[in-house]
Structure 1
């Protein structure tokens, strides 16, 4: 049985490496220079859900698992008052460096997401936001939902777009067609990986290559939110994701999203959830 603390430490080392690679000014990684050069630029993840996000101007916002801050500063560019949180000290340092160059008014805190209530303050936020590729690094979805509920002020809203658990169940090393291989449901034992690449182009291979991931079924996610007192207001499944999740099987769309090619529509690839904390 994998020790969860050891797994989290390995994941943090991997994300320390990724943060440096993703923040490269060479045009690799997240192509961060475009956020410096054009103050109107929004990340593809935020742009995809802009209509569903609605008017967020003036909303106090916590962005959990913010990585190097490209989605975080994008929320700020839509008028939100944003604090980003990430467990990687390197990611937080890169996020701070980025906004120092762009001029966006965003603050960043280093902490584990499970410690976010203590790190950011209980019942403080109008909006809690989480983007793509976050939940698979967490061993317990119920603990995450409790954190979200603890951060939201009464009447506050959760907004999350995430890779679909069906997608996380697929084997991305097989390129002929989608293959279900891994558990759809949350399990105590994580899936282990050893890979020196990332999901975007990077200039050099990663040094910390071992990672551990946990899947969470869509029903488990919704149930965890409901069990922690939130009211579900939106659940939309999408046929695309913002990276080439299944190499050799996907086509890139004009908006930068990737969808299945020959097997288009056979499975959802991502989803958007919104939930509200009641005022009473």
Structure 2
């Protein structure tokens, strides 16, 4: 398991340095410096379900370079971002130093989050899209979320739909399920030199290990951790071109199926609350 973690960390170290570029590639981070009111497309999509988060003590797990994290802060939350990549954390700190947003960033594997953050102290645990596929056990993740939340606190996660992750993106003539829907002990192994956004060079740390987690597995893990499910919504769009050649771009950085519109969910949102007693 340590090999999987180390390999994925090297990949995300490499991505972080490119995603944080100030040259108009990657996450286009210069926009957040130039416009102090700008919110990321990901957080803007989440707003109708997030609601008012003014003053909420918030932990953003797997925060990467911090564009969603600072967006939560701009909505009034008191945010701590956590990521296992030292490069991502350094880039996130450098970004908020330029933007002036009040965010704390901590370097840690998500499974150790309750050891480096104060357990039971967060009103909101936020996990952005594209996070769970890097974790071998969704049950362990749910346990960490439950430990971090204060009584009455809630989890908010929007994630790529496990059905989407079964599809082979290399085949563009139709939807081709090829990969496991359910969590497997052994990960899928990928080796590719491109990222999901435009970058100014290829990746050098190209190998990754990923796991899928079925909707039922995610929901059950949260229930078993003692949380109460309050929201489960499936969406017909995803914030990257997940299936090249088969998607149409919408406003707000979202992509939906073209010819196969409505055939499959592409993302989902879950919210769950930790009971008061």
Shift of 1:232: 0.1
Partner residue of 2:246 out of 229, 244, 249: 249
Gaps of 5+ in 2: none
Deviation at 1:35, TM superposition (A): 0.3
Aligned to 2:221: 224
Distance 1:179 1:78 in 2: 40
Residue 205 of structure 2 corresponds to residue 213 of structure 1: no
The residue number in structure 1 matching 2:200 is 203
> 1:5, CA displacement in angstroms?
1.2
* Structure 1 spans left out of the alignment, 5+ residues: none
**Aligned with 1:68 (options 58, 65, 70):** 65
TM norm structure 2: 0.99
Is 1:173 paired with 2:164? no
Give the CA deviation at 1:167: 0.7
Q: Is residue 273 from structure 1 mapped to residue 270 from structure 2 by the alignment?
A: yes
SS in structure 2 at match of 1:49 = helix
Q: Which runs of 4+ in 1 moved over 6 A?
A: none
Aligned counterpart, 1:258 = 255
CA distance in 2, matches of 1:13, 1:265: 37
Structure 2 residue 210 is the aligned partner of structure 1 residue 237: no
Of 120, 132, 137, 2:134 maps to: 137
Hey, what does 1:43 align to over in structure 2?
Answer: 40
Whole-angstrom distance in 2 between the partners of 1:33 and 1:100: 13
Q: 2:151 aligns with which of 154, 165, 172?
A: 154
Question: Where do residues 15-164 of structure 1 align in structure 2 (5 Å cutoff)?
Answer: 15-164=12-161
How far did residue 256 of structure 1 move? 1.5
Aligned residue pairs, count: 277
Superposition TM-score, scaled by structure 1 size:
0.98
Shift of 1:38: 0.3
Q: What RMSD in Å do the two structures reach over aligned CA positions?
A: 0.4
Deviates more, 1:173-182 or 1:218-227: 173-182
Please give the alpha-carbon distance, in whole angstroms, between the structure 1 residues aligned to 2:202 and 2:48: 37
Q: Distance in 2 between matches of 1:266 and 1:131?
A: 24
Q: For residue 81 of structure 1, report the CA deviation from its aligned partner.
A: 0.1
1:189 aligns with 2:190: no
SS at structure 2 position matched to 1:94 = helix
Q: Measure, in 2, the Cα distance between the counterparts of 1:39 and 1:176.
A: 42
The 1-side partners of 2:266 and 2:61 are apart by 21
What per-residue deviation string (whole Å, max 9, x for no partner) do you get for residues 176-213 of structure 1?
A: 11110000000001000000100000000111000000
